Amino acid sequence: MARQKFVAGNWKMFTSAASGRALARAVAAGVTDDRVRVAVAPPYPYLALIAECLAGSRVGVAAQNLYPAHEGAFTGEVSPEMLKDVGCKYVILGHSERRHGLGERNEFINLKVRAAIDAGLDVILCVGETLEEREKDHTQQIIWRQLYDALAGFDRALVHRLTIAYEPVWAIGTGRTATPDQAQEVHAYIRGLARKAWDEQSAAALTIQYGGSVKAENARELMSQPDIDGALVGGASLKPESFLAIVAGAA
């Protein structure tokens, strides 16, 4: 069975209550069929508000992070249960802006993946190499390590609740996109790892998004590659026209 395409908008630390509400409403109005799975990831303070705006629509809500504990004395942190409680279906974990900007390590990301799955949140796990790592030809070993460590203990029977987002760090927010061939090569590698670690059927069921300067102009060609199952979109998800054009490119 063909995998359903999945397009998610990572709003990062952008929008306000008013602009987020307007953006969510416009996206919901534009997603009129179920051919493509769609989600948006607003900043924490707006999750409940956006979830309310999107209730009954075809657009799901994702958080951009979580803390791997049910509750406790963790000042400033947010638990998976709280995210579920305000209407999140997904959580983005391991984004490079957290790995590189905030020092998040694979082992900590693994705790987050486990906590998310246990709480009933579906995971979008980001992996990707830096420019230096690519130039040294270390891309595959970096991706292998990120996946191996972050998915330790993951039950392959839950593969339908996992999305891998391949986001080459050098393509994020830079306007520089991996070519469809470059992206497809890494996506095929990731699916091959899933085949080896799990089995053919689980690998075939795994959704692998591409992220890194995805725009209306390049989305269709990227997502027509055999192992590219959608997109994790940053900048272009902040305008309904560009985000909806990307969604259309996935159909």
Q: Which residues, in sequence order, are CB contacts of 84 under 8 Å at separation 6+?
A: 119, 120, 121
Cα 97 from Cα 72, distance rounded (Å): 26
128 binds ligand 13P (CB under 6 A): no
Among 141, 173, 199, 251, binds ligand 13P (CB under 6 A): 173
184 binds ligand 13P (CB under 6 A): no
Among 68, 230, 234, 249, binds ligand 13P (CB under 6 A): 234
**Applying CB under 6 A, what is the total number of residues that bind ligand 13P?**
14
127 binds ligand 13P (CB under 6 A): no
To the nearest 10°, the Cα dihedral for 213, 104, 8, 208?
80
Tokens standing for 128? 């990707």
Among 42, 235, 240, 249, binds ligand 13P (CB under 6 A): 235
Q: State which of positions 1-20 bind ligand 13P (CB under 6 A).
A: 10
The least CB distance from residue 150 to ligand 13P, in Å, is: 16
Tokens standing for 6? 């999945």
Q: Which ranges of the chain would DSSP assign to H, the alpha helix?
A: 17-30, 47-54, 80-85, 96-101, 106-119, 131-135, 139-150, 180-197, 200-205, 216-223, 240-250
Q: What is the DSSP code string of 89-109?
A: -EEEES-HHHHHHS---HHHH
Q: State which of positions 65-124 bind ligand 13P (CB under 6 A).
A: 95
167 binds ligand 13P (CB under 6 A): yes
214 binds ligand 13P (CB under 6 A): yes
Whether residue 70 contacts residue 87, with contact meaning beta carbons closer than 8 Å, is answered with no
Active site residue ranges: 95, 167
Tokens standing for 33? 């069929």
Which of the stretches 26-34, 50-58, 148-156, 206-214 binds ligand 13P when contact is defined by CB under 6 A? 206-214
233 binds ligand 13P (CB under 6 A): yes
Which stretches of the chain bind ligand 13P, using CB under 6 A?
10, 95, 167, 172-173, 211-214, 232-236
